[in-house]
Amino acid sequence: MTESELTYESFTNDPFQDLIPADQTKGASQILEWAYGNFGDSIIYSCSFGAESMVLINLISKVKKDAQIVFLDTGIHFQETYDLIDRVKERYPELSIKLKKPDLTLEEQTEKHGESLWKSNPNQCCFIRKIKPLEDVLSGASAWISGLRREQSPSRQNTDFVNKDERFKSIKVCPLIHWTWDDVWDYIQKYDLPYNELHDFQYPSIGCIPCTSQVSSSGDSRDGRWAGSSKTECGLHTASDHSK
């Protein structure tokens, strides 16, 4: 595949679907080399600053030192997450790390939609605070990077390295699809990478405060997200429109 050949419009299938990764990074480095070669400055990493993000940031920094990274700052994240972002900025000063805020402040959201929208209508809350902001970010980009792994959940098992993203009319590149939870932590420890301190207190998956809880035993789990509700995804990785 040559530079700039692949676009949302021209996408038919993952150009790496036959790749059997044998390298240490399970294909991730090769995919990132290709992605930055194909999309140049027009690819954005939408980073949650979870454990997978620490791996991806490290791998990306080896391919493109000044890569664009965006954190969807809902305004309801743990202080530990904001502290981690500061530590990552110190470790990788050349990366462009930006925090994208929603149009509505929390106060404006309460005024318009009532108290604790994350309880009364979490899909609408995610739409306002995550999906719409990412739409805005991706409107000027050709592609984006995500840290999805196939073993995370049944809905992620069919994720490819390169995906046509109908939700955002974009190309979604997922370099870590073959990584296990143990792979992620082995890499973090091997390279002494920073990570969110909450991971040490049985928070395997960390998002907004109201929708994140401790799990009974640490492991590869998204159980601590939207606990007690049927919601399992914020909508960034599903095709449906959760704006209502």
List residues with catalytic annotation. 234
Looking at 6, 148, 162, 234, which residue binds ligand SF4 (CB under 6 A)?
234
Write the CA distances from 178 to 16, 80, 161, 217, integer angstroms.
13, 28, 9, 23
If one asks whether residue 118 binds ligand SF4 (CB under 6 A), the answer comes out as yes
Q: By CB under 6 A, which span of 38-46, 56-64, 121-129, 133-141 interacts with ligand SF4? A: 121-129
Instruction: Kindly state the smallest distance separating residue 121's Cβ from ligand SF4, in Å.
Output: 8
- Binding mask 135-174 vs ligand SF4 (x if CB under 6 A, - otherwise)? ----------------------------------------
The residue at minimum Cβ distance from ligand SF4 is: 208
Binding span for ligand SF4 by CB under 6 A among 22-30, 34-42, 120-128, 147-155: 120-128
Given the rule CB under 6 A, which of 11-19, 47-55, 126-134, 147-155 is the region that contacts ligand SF4?
A: 126-134
* β-bridge partners, 72: 100
Angle between helices 181-190 and 51-63 (to 10 degrees): 60
Neighbouring C-beta atoms of residue 238, cutoff 10 Å: 14
Segment lying near ligand SF4 (by CB under 6 A), choices 119-127, 163-171, 181-189, 215-223: 119-127
Structural contact between residues 219 and 51, judged by C-beta atoms closer than 8 angstroms: no
131, burial (CB in 10 Å: exposed 0-12, middle 13-18, buried 19+)? buried
Q: Could you give the string, one character per residue 17-56, with x where binding to ligand SF4 holds by CB under 6 A and - elsewhere?
A: ----------------------------------------
Kindly tell me which of 26 and 129 has the beta carbon lying closer to ligand SF4: 129
The CA angle 64-67-69, to the nearest 5 degrees, is 145
Among 64, 130, 172, 178, binds ligand SF4 (CB under 6 A): 130
Angle at 36 between CA 31 and CA 41, to 5 degrees: 155
Check residue 129 for interaction with ligand SF4 (CB under 6 A). Answer: yes
Residue 163 is inside which H or E element, if any? strand 162-165
Q: 189-214 burial, b if ≥16 CB within 10 A, otherwise e?
A: eeeebbbbebbeeebbbbbbeebbee
The SS3 assignment for 172 reads strand
Phi, psi of 79 (to 5 degrees): -60, -35
Between 43 and 72, whose beta carbon lies closer to ligand SF4?
72
Q: Which residues of the shown chain bind ligand SF4 in the complex (CB under 6 A)?
A: 74, 76, 118, 122, 125-126, 129-130, 207-208, 210-211, 234
